[in-house]
Amino acid sequence: MSDLALSIRGLRKAYASGTEALKAVDLDIRHGEIFALLGPNGAGKTTLISIVCGLVTATEGTVLVDGKHWRDDYRHARTRIGLVPQELNTDQFEPVWNTVAFSRELFGKPKDDARVEEILRSLTLWDKRKNIIKDLSGGMKRRVMIAKALAHEPDILFLDEPTAGVDVELRKEMWALVRTLRERGVTIILTTHYIEEAEEMADRVGVINRGELILVENKTTLMKKLGRKELHLQLTEPMAQVPPGLADWGLKLDGDGSQLTYVFDGTAERTGIPTLLSALRDQGISFKDLDTKSSSLEDIFVGLIHAGNGASK
């Protein structure tokens, strides 16, 4: 077995319309990881996974699936990869069992009722096996899509925006489900534009914007490396504006003038906090409480996208 589940090199896609959806993307996916591909609408996420899954042809580039070329050895790639698309793409009038069992056969796998039962049970769909899909709740329908994708026992699973448009409860349920799949050894690549989803679930995060993979990083390293921190000071007396003597600190006044926010580099030797506090004292500003907070992946993401868009103009 190759060290990598997927090895993507120089993948480029120009649609007939002229849109350059992917610009020479290189990406390695390790066995057993959860990788979140994060990007705004139209960034190229669906195009990337559609190419890897053999649904869209690449203009250039190669993908190795567990070391084997995905087109030369497409049978291998097909058996190893499962895809849960964004849209419900199954016959809504079929019972759950038939849909999942049929999916397995479509991939040339021998009929195996015990295996189908195992998949349905693991996704808590067993009690619904005879139900017609259209009568299921939104959450159950999504589970059917996952069961379909797992029916041929792939070990690399793509989830295209698994929680787009679902409520908070269902989102958490999906997250738990994805973690369970990973515990069973499935490598997971999910696309999302919800930063909290990447933050909650991923081992590594890739940020894609305008067809370019602008960053791939271990999630915790990313947050540590790029994470700015905020110092919040709850003032004893609210202020109408930041005094001119503190103008150089880039302070922000919030909460009806009762909170001062100072943004600093949490990884720097010198944060500037002691100097700021004495400058406040000199100005006669007192505070009753203070706390610091790490900036979220969201702040990092927005910063990166802005930097990327600026650079490409």
Ligand X SMILES: Nc1ncnc2c1ncn2[C@@H]1O[C@H](COP(=O)(O)OP(=O)(O)OP(=O)(O)O)[C@@H](O)[C@H]1O
Binding site for ligand X (CB under 6 A): 15, 17, 19, 21, 39, 41-47, 193
For ligand X, the closer of residues 47 and 99 by Cβ is 47
- Reduced to 3 states (helix: H, G, I; strand: E, B; else coil), residue 10 is strand
For ligand X, the closer of residues 66 and 197 by Cβ is 197
Laid out side by side, the sheet with 212-218 consists of: 81-84, 156-160, 187-192, 34-38, 204-209, 212-218
CA distance linking residue 191 with residue 65, whole number of Å = 19
Find the shortest distance in angstroms from Cβ 86 to ligand X. 7
The single residue listed with the structure tokens 């908070």 is 168
Find the shortest distance in angstroms from Cβ 194 to ligand X. 11
For ligand X, the closer of residues 128 and 171 by Cβ is 171
The single residue listed with the structure tokens 């120089």 is 10
Which among 210, 161, 158, 308 is positioned nearest to 13, based on CA atoms?
A: 210
CA 164 to chain centre: 11
Residue pair 177/123 in contact by the 8 Å Cβ criterion: yes
Which among 206, 187, 179, 156 is positioned nearest to 32, based on CA atoms?
A: 187
CA distance linking residue 155 with residue 80, whole number of Å = 6
Find the shortest distance in angstroms from Cβ 133 to ligand X. 23
- What the block records as the tokens of 3 is 């060290």
The single residue listed with the structure tokens 């016959």 is 91
Find the shortest distance in angstroms from Cβ 306 to ligand X. 17
| C-alpha torsion 51→57→58→64, nearest 10 | 50
For ligand X, the closer of residues 7 and 47 by Cβ is 47
Find the shortest distance in angstroms from Cβ 164 to ligand X. 8
For ligand X, the closer of residues 97 and 158 by Cβ is 158
Find the shortest distance in angstroms from Cβ 279 to ligand X. 45
For ligand X, the closer of residues 76 and 193 by Cβ is 193
